[in-house]
Amino acid sequence: MQSTTKELKEKALAVMDQAYSPYSNFSVGAAIRTKAGNIYTGCNVENVSFGLTICAERNAIAQAIATEGPTMVLEEVVITNRNSEGDSIPCSPCGACRQVIAEFAHSETQIQYEGKNKEDVRVSMTELLPDSFRF
């Protein structure tokens, strides 16, 4: 049975509670569905030297690759967030995550994140990163 966007959002919200974010107090959860129909989740894991922080999206993608291998293809990505007050804020994937998502996505892969007024924003990979780097 194919997962739904609602199921992915529920999983992203649940894994967000596992985030390690003592420096920013900004927790992020991600749930992805691959072409094979599998679901993987990830949360952000901060590090005191911020550059070593692992974003939720890249965490979930790494788990998918570790399980399915390097030919894994993303079909859908759902991202949630919460600050220390418990509020979600408008937040699209960072530039590094956009490029990593693009590495394993196709042009119509769907990405959903929280936008203004707590509304879900849903875009294709091409809309999220129109000129992704390719060799």
C-beta separation of 43 from 18 below 8 A: yes
Instruction: Specify if 17 maps to a domain.
Output: yes
Question: pTM of the entire structure?
Answer: 0.94
61: domain CATH number?
A: 3.40.140.10
Instruction: Specify if 80 maps to a domain.
Output: yes
C-beta separation of 103 from 134 below 8 A: no
pLDDT tens-digit series, residues 11-51: 999 999 999 999 999 999 999 999 999 999 999 999 999 89
Interatomic CA distance for residues 2 and 18, integer angstroms:
25
Tokens of 86: 């418990």
Q: Which of 58, 73, 132, 65 is nearest to 105 (CA)?
A: 73
Instruction: Specify if 135 maps to a domain.
Output: no
Q: Which domain holds residue 113?
A: 5-128
Interatomic CA distance for residues 67 and 22, integer angstroms:
29
Q: How many domains, in total, are found in the chain?
A: 1
Instruction: Specify if 106 maps to a domain.
Output: yes
Instruction: Specify if 10 maps to a domain.
Output: yes
Instruction: Specify if 134 maps to a domain.
Output: no
pLDDT score recorded for residue 84: 87
Instruction: Specify if 39 maps to a domain.
Output: yes
pLDDT tens-digit series, residues 114-127: 988 889 999 999 99
Active site residue 57: yes
Range of lowest pLDDT (37-51, 77-91, 99-113)? 77-91
pLDDT score recorded for residue 13: 96
Interatomic CA distance for residues 117 and 20, integer angstroms:
26
Catalytic member of 46, 57, 75, 114: 57
Instruction: Specify if 63 maps to a domain.
Output: yes
Tokens of 88: 């979600």
